[in-house]
């Protein structure tokens, strides 16, 4: 038991002694902030005061030297000054964080992603600054960080800081990928996401009618993601990319040469860029050397309103550019604050000393040996008189983003610390609490601008639309020609002012950049093989199809009753065609029908006048008059086939034709039978005429006719003929005709007529050689021969004739067969009656010839 107590006592003493030691330990050399100021709460900042660094190949024999940063970046100084201005303004305010002083630790990332992560880690453990600035113990991380400028470093920093929920508020990182709160939970920004900018660019390109464009992007997350969204949106809007190339400022000269060759070999006249200003400046210098002018440039907020880019050698290449910029803003007092930089009285003496020497091309360590190349710095030079990017306030909207970011963090701290007249708690809250609160803040700046974040940590998306308009002195004026507001309905988001635009080559006319011209109405687009959808040929619509708008991808078939006009842009009602009384063919057939009816009536009149003569009485004059009556009906029934078809005319024409022709053939058959019976009755002991007298002949005619009437009744009852619009035979005409209804009914009627005609022909043929001076069977045989020949010819002609010609064929068959019967049976008798009356005697009729 005593041994156990002794062991516990030993462990307790050991733990107390260990707790007195410093628990934080640093790996490697500490990172010192470039700008530092103490305060109750320290805010972090990361800016690239240098834009490049010296590349040193690792030897793996000794520890790598610290990164050697080069190329001083005046813009980063401006961003840092904006942050310092906002902190100083907050510290002097009695309304925001009263009684609390904000300090800052601002690091230089040198444009390096690796260094950005390293300094971000330094900000998560402020013991790094204690290594050289104080002897205070470890205090944990800063509550929030302001920066970085580019998207790729922000992605790397957010990936590292995300698990610790330390808010990172960027003023210029626009990649849409950073809105992903699963990957980057602690990232926020005061500049809109490229998701909106990319869509806005696509809408603007579509608005100006550019459907065939080229694209150049930076080889980083900003360029890659921004161009990907632009490409997707452009595809939806019918815009095609002829080429899409990437570039980074460290790429070799061969890469630039390849890009120039691609542009020279292209047919598009518009170039859409997702480039940083540093990448673009290198490109346009090379483009100017190759005289790559005449292209319409479309830019993003990264350079479209950047005055440094507008003064770069070869900037005239970009004259007439259009693009999106952060809306103009002004922060009262910021310009004056920036211009009051003093190298020896600042929080980062070393950094601002280097800034001063670079800005004025002088040295504080001046010696006689360096007197030839540099002058001595006094520290009292007039910075307002400088002509460099530090004095350029065209990026005031971006400075305003830094200003808003610092104020957003301050408002969040104000709410968490329960500040009223005075803050009740001065301890720095943990980052997670700040992150939760900062997403809910909503305030207005002193200029009246509303600041808030959506669920993705993004602000409202609004852009000015800028046009580069060159002045007479060679400088460029950034003219605002419109506004894009993503909060409005899609059809109202893009608003352009009625101002004079300046396009490439100082033209006042909108450039044309299309792969294929507009397809006029009456044509359709057909894609060219192996090319994007914007490259197509314009093919005329086929007959019967139209397109009544430009750039139609399909032609619409006209309604069956309509047909395309000659231009193929409208459907016109088809010409309706039927055999009418007014057309030549209809008039001829009508005249022929009436002539036939008149001739038949004339023959009937002649027969009636000479009804008591032997030739009329020789073969049942009653049947002769009935035959003449039926022939008249046959001639007249052809008229029912002429004119616009209707329900009644369709039913009447075929039934009237069928019944009258059967009546006609029945009469001829009766006459033929009468001839045969008459001669058979002359044989000794024959009493045939007793059984086939006039009464029996009438019964035969009526019986045969009623059979046809029955067939017609069944046809009309089951499936009668009806008016029909025939679209089949002619493309541009509608043939109005009578459909048969039941083809079986039609062919039954026609077949029955043919059967009677064939029977009549056979009987007449058998009686043709009977001894008689006037043997009527010969004429009946010939008439039936004509009748059968006509109707046998009719069948193939009727089937093969299109439209109204089939009706004309049927009328011709009716008239031809009717004239055949009339001429063959009655004209010989009329000839004897009128011109050979001496032969019209009973004796002559009874004389027999061998």
Per-residue pLDDT at 63 exceeds 60: yes
Cβ–Cβ under 8 Å, residues 65 and 56: yes
Distance between CA atoms of residues 627 and 760, nearest Å: 14
User: Residue 575's CB: how many other CB atoms inside 10 A?
Assistant: 11
Q: Which of 60-64, 287-291, 444-448, 495-499 has the least mean pLDDT?
A: 60-64
Distance CA 423, CA 413 (A): 10
User: Hunting for tokens 């019944």 — which residue is that?
Assistant: 659
Q: Report the range of poorest mean pLDDT among 14-23, 149-158, 704-713.
A: 14-23
Evaluate if residue 137 carries a pLDDT over 60. Answer: no
Quick one: average pLDDT of 134-162? 80
Please answer whether residues 414 and 96 qualify as being in contact, where contact means their C-beta atoms are separated by less than 8 angstroms.
Answer: yes
Closest C-alpha among 796, 809, 817 to residue 753: 817
Residue 370's pLDDT is 62
- Looking up tokens 């049942």 gives 620
Closest to 468 measured CA to CA, from 241, 224, 229, 295: 295
CB 766 within 8 A of CB 540: no
Q: For the chain, what is the mean pLDDT?
A: 84
What's the confidence (pLDDT) of residue 135?
42
Question: How much is the average pLDDT of 615-626?
Answer: 75
Could you tell me which of 149, 198, 197 has the C-alpha nearest to residue 169?
Answer: 149
Which distant-in-sequence residues (6+ apart) come within 8 Å of 634 by Cβ?
596, 657, 660, 661, 664, 814, 817, 818
- pLDDT: is 346 or 223 the higher one? 223
Sorted by sequence, the CB contacts under 8 Å of residue 545 that are 6+ apart come out as 555, 556, 557, 558, 564, 568
How much is the pLDDT for 838?
79
pLDDT of residue 767: 67
Average of per-residue pLDDT across 375-393: 79
Angstrom distance (rounded) from CA 68 to CA 626: 128
User: Average pLDDT in the 407-421 region?
Assistant: 90
Q: Which residue has the tokens 């639309």?
A: 465
pLDDT at residue 16, rounded to an integer: 37
Q: What is the pLDDT of residue 740?
A: 83
More confident: 558 or 677:
558
CA-CA distance, 842 to 778, in Å (whole number)? 20
Q: What is the pLDDT of residues 726-755, one digit of tens each?
A: 887 778 888 888 888 888 888 888 888 888
For residue range 231-276, list pLDDT tens digits in order: 999 999 989 999 999 998 888 999 999 999 999 999 999 999 999 9
Nearest to 443 by CA among 457, 453, 458, 433: 453
Give residue 403's pLDDT. 96
Q: What is the pLDDT of residue 540?
A: 94
State the pLDDT confidence band at 194, using cuts at 50, 70 and 90. very high
Running DSSP on this structure, what letter comes out for residue 542? P
Q: Write the DSSP string, 155-220.
A: HHHHHHHGGGT--EEESS---GGGG-TTT-TTEEESS--HHHHHHHHHHHHHHTT--EEEEEEESS
15 pLDDT exceeds 60? no
pLDDT tens column, 684-694: 555 555 555 66
> How many angstroms from the chain centroid is the CA of residue 151?
33
User: Cα 278 vs. chain centroid, distance in angstroms?
Assistant: 37
Selection from 605, 669, 670, 609 nearest residue 632 by Cα: 605
Q: Would you call the peptide bond into 109 cis, given omega within 30 degrees of 0 as the criterion?
A: no
Separation CA 90–CA 259 (nearest Å): 49
Residue 524 pLDDT level (bands cut at 50, 70, 90): very high
Band (3; pLDDT cuts 50, 70, 90): very low
Say if residue 640's pLDDT is above 80. yes
How far is 439 from 394, CA to CA, in rounded Å?
Answer: 29
Q: Can you tell me the distance from the alpha carbon of 134 to that of 737, in angstroms, rounded to the nearest whole number? A: 109
Instruction: Determine which helix (DSSP H) or strand (DSSP E) holds 570, and give its type and residue range.
Output: none
3-state secondary structure of 743: helix
Output the pLDDT for position 195.
93
| Cα–Cα dist 272/214, whole Å | 6
**Residue with the larger pLDDT of the pair 657 and 46:** 46
CB atoms within 10 A of CB 528: 14
**Residue among 478, 477, 481 at smallest CA distance from 497:** 481
For the ranges 26-30, 558-562, 671-675, 697-701, the maximum mean pLDDT occurs at 558-562
DSSP state of 72: E
Is pLDDT above 50 for 20?
no
pLDDT of residue 835: 85
On the question of pLDDT at 224 being above 90, the answer is yes
Residue whose entry in the numeric block shows the structure tokens 């493309």: 731
Radius of gyration of the CA atoms of the chain, in A: 54
């Amino acid at each position: 038991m005593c041994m156990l107590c002794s062991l516990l006592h030993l462990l307790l003493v050991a733990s107390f002694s260990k707790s007195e030691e410093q628990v934080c330990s640093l790996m490697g050399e500490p990172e010192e902030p470039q700008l530092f100021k103490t305060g109750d709460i320290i805010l972090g900042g990361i800016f690239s005061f240098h834009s490049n660094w010296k590349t040193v190949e690792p030897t793996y024999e000794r520890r790598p030297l610290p990164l050697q940063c080069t190329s001083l970046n005046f813009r980063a100084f401006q961003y840092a000054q904006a942050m310092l201005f906002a902190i100083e303004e907050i510290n002097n305010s009695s309304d925001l964080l009263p009684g609390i002083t904000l300090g800052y630790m601002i690091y230089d990332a040198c444009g390096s992603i690796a260094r950005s992560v390293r300094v971000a880690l330094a900000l998560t453990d402020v013991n790094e600054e204690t290594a050289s600035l104080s002897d205070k113990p470890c205090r944990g991380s800063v509550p929030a960080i302001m920066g970085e400028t580019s998207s790729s470093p922000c992605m790397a920093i957010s990936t590292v800081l995300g698990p610790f929920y330390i808010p990172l508020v960027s003023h210029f990182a626009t990649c849409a990928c950073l809105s992903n709160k699963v990957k980057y939970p602690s990232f926020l920004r005061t500049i809109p996401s490229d998701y909106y900018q990319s869509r806005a660019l696509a809408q603007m390109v579509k608005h100006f009618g550019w459907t065939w464009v080229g694209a150049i992007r930076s080889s980083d997350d900003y360029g890659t993601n921004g161009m990907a969204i632009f490409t997707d949106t452009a595809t939806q809007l019918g815009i095609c990319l002829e080429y899409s190339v990437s570039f980074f400022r460290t790429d070799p000269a061969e890469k630039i040469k390849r890009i120039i060759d691609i542009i020279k070999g292209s047919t598009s006249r518009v170039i859409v860029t997702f480039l940083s200003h540093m990448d673009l400046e290198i490109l346009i210098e090379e483009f100017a050397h190759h005289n790559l002018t005449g292209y319409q440039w479309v830019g993003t907020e990264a350079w479209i309103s950047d005055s440094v880019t507008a003064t770069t050698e070869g900037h005239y290449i970009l004259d007439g550019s259009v693009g999106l910029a952060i809306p103009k803003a002004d922060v009262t007092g910021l310009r004056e604050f920036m211009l009051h930089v003093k190298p020896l009285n600042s929080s980062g003496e070393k950094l601002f000393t280097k800034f001063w020497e670079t800005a004025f091309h002088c040295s504080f360590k001046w010696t006689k040996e360096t007197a030839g190349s540099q002058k001595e710095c006094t520290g009292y030079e007039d910075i307002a008189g400088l002509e460099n990017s530090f004095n350029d306030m065209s990026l005031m909207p971006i400075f305003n983003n830094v200003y808003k970011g610092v104020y957003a963090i301050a408002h969040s701290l104000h709410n968490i610390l329960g500040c009223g007249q005075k803050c009740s708690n001065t301890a720095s809250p943990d980052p997670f609490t700040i992150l939760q609160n900062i997403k809910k803040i909503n305030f207005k700046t002193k200029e009246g601008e509303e600041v808030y974040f959506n669920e993705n940590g993004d602000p409202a998306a609004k852009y000015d639309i800028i046009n580069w308009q060159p002045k007479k002195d060679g400088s460029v004026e950034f003219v605002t020609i419109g506004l894009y507001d993503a909060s409005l309905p899609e059809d109202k988001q893009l608003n352009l002012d009625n101002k004079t635009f300046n396009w490439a080559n100082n033209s006042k006319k909108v450039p044309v950049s299309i792969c294929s011209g507009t397809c006029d109405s009456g044509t359709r687009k057909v894609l060219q093989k192996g090319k994007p959808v914007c490259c197509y040929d314009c093919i005329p619509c086929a007959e019967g199809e139209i397109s009544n708008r430009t750039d139609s991808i399909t032609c619409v078939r006209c309604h069956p009753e309509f047909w395309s006009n000659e231009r193929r842009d409208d459907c016109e009602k088809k010409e309706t065609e039927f055999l009418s009384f007014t057309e030549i063919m209809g008039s001829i057939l009508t005249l022929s029908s009436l002539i036939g009816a008149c001739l038949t009536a004339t023959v009937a009149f002649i027969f009636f006048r000479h009804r008591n003569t032997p030739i009329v009485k020789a073969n049942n004059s009653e049947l002769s008059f009935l035959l003449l009556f039926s022939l008249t009906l046959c001639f007249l029934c052809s008229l029912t086939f002429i004119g616009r078809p209707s329900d009644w005319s369709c039913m009447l024409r075929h039934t009237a034709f069928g019944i009258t022709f059967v009546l006609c053939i029945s009469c001829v058959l009766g006459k033929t039978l009468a001839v045969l019976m008459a001669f058979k009755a002359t044989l000794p002991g024959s009493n045939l005429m007793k059984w086939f007298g006039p009464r029996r002949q009438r019964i035969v005619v009526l019986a045969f006719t009623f059979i046809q009437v029955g067939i017609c009744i069944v046809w009309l009852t089951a499936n009668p003929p009806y008016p029909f619009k025939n679209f089949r035979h002619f493309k541009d005409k509608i043939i109005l005709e009578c459909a048969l209804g039941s083809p079986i009914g039609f062919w039954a009627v026609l077949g029955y007529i043919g059967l009677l005609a064939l029977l009549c022909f056979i009987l007449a043929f058998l009686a043709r050689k009977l001894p008689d001076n006037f043997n009527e069977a010969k004429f009946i045989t010939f008439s039936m021969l004509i009748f059968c020949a006509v109707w046998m010819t009719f069948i193939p002609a009727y089937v093969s004739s299109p439209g109204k010609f089939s009706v004309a064929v049927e009328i011709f068959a009716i008239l031809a067969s009717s004239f055949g019967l009339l001429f063959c049976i009655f004209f010989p008798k009329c000839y004897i009656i009128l011109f050979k009356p001496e032969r019209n005697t009973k004796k002559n009729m009874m004389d027999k010839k061998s």
